[in-house]
């Protein structure tokens, strides 16, 4: 087993364990709401011409009483970028297009418009370089100041445990990234987003993996608390309409600007898993 493969397997193992605990936590919330909803897992295999071991993943999907639609996917893939796409990826080029990637991706769209939608992903990639990236961001159709403050406080604590500069840097990165230019609005109330935490040696790999794990733990700690706070809130037809129109904006961002969507499509990922981020229902007026 090569050093790259070993590191990929370490990261993959963590992402899969995080998925299992997140899915258990979300199913527990459904039980509290009197629902028997559970995740259904669909394995998929990637295909790449001339590649005997291109990898694949597992798509986890649940539709319930609290979680109208939530997807939690883990994939581990390897192969070569197309020449035109390779130049857009850190450490890759037309002359060196090979890559491996493993990661977890989560998007939750909630039945109650007072409960915030959420996105979280963390990943490890190797090209000519190796690095971690990811983050989490809160996307409430009807924002609450205390929810926003507590979400950011938990992420700030996760960042501060590793580097005093991380939170402000990665919060700004999220604010800049999760913006819909043609609408002139942000997709949500932000969070953190980071990329290219490079692993030049074993110490850097261990350090960046530890931070990435901290982000996952922070998400698992804070988001279920916010869901339980709001999931029994009464809502009006007007509240639901606000949610559906907001979901239209969310879909626009993910289809037009999201780099993860583009990466999945450009690397032969599973279409259903890539587009699980789209809401189950939305409107454009």
Structure token digits, residue 163: 């580097």
CA distance 72 to 119: 10
Identified catalytic residue from 119, 182, 186, 196: 119
The sign one gets for the Cα dihedral 172, 188, 156, 277 is negative
Q: Does the annotation count 119 as an active-site position? A: yes
CA distance 20 to 262: 26
The CA–CA distances, whole Å, from 112 to 48, 66, 92, 108, 167 equal 41, 7, 43, 12, 30
Helix, strand, coil content of the chain in percent (nearest 5): 45, 25, 30
For 210, the 3-state DSSP assignment is: helix
DSSP state letter for 116? P
CA distance 74 to 140: 24
DSSP 161-199: TT-TTHHHHHHHHHHHHSEETTTTEESSSEEEEEEEEE-
Contact 142, 114 (CB under 8 A): yes
DSSP H helical ranges for 40-195: 83-86, 145-160, 166-177
Q: List residues with catalytic annotation.
A: 119
């Amino acid at each position: 087993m090569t050093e790259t493969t070993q590191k990929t397997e370490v990261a993959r193992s963590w992402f899969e364990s995080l998925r299992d605990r997140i899915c258990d936590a979300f199913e527990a919330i459904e039980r509290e709401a009197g629902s028997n909803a559970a995740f259904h897992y669909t394995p998929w295999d990637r295909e790449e011409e001339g590649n005997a071991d291109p990898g694949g993943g597992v798509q986890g999907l649940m539709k319930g009483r609290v979680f109208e639609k939530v997807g939690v996917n883990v994939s581990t893939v390897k192969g070569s970028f197309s020449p035109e796409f390779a130049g857009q990826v850190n450490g890759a080029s037309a002359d060196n297009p090979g890559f491996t990637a493993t990661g977890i991706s989560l998007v939750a769209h909630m039945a109650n418009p007072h409960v915030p939608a959420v996105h979280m992903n963390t990943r490890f990639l190797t090209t000519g370089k190796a690095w971690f990236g990811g983050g989490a961001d809160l996307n409430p159709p009807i924002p609450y100041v205390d929810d926003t403050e507590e979400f950011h406080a938990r992420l700030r604590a996760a960042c501060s445990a590793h580097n005093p500069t991380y939170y402000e840097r990665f919060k700004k990165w999220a604010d800049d990234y999760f913006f819909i230019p043609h609408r002139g609005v942000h997709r949500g109330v932000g969070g953190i987003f980071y990329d290219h935490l490079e692993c030049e040696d074993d110490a850097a790999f261990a350090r960046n993996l530890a931070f990435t794990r901290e982000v996952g733990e922070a998400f698992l700690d804070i988001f279920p608390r916010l869901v339980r706070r709001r999931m029994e809130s009464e809502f009006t037809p007007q509240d639901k309409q606000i949610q559906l129109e907001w979901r239209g904006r969310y879909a626009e961002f993910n289809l037009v600007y999201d780099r993860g969507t583009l990466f999945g499509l450009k690397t032969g990922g599973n279409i259903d898993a890539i587009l699980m981020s789209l809401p189950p229902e939305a409107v454009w007026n």
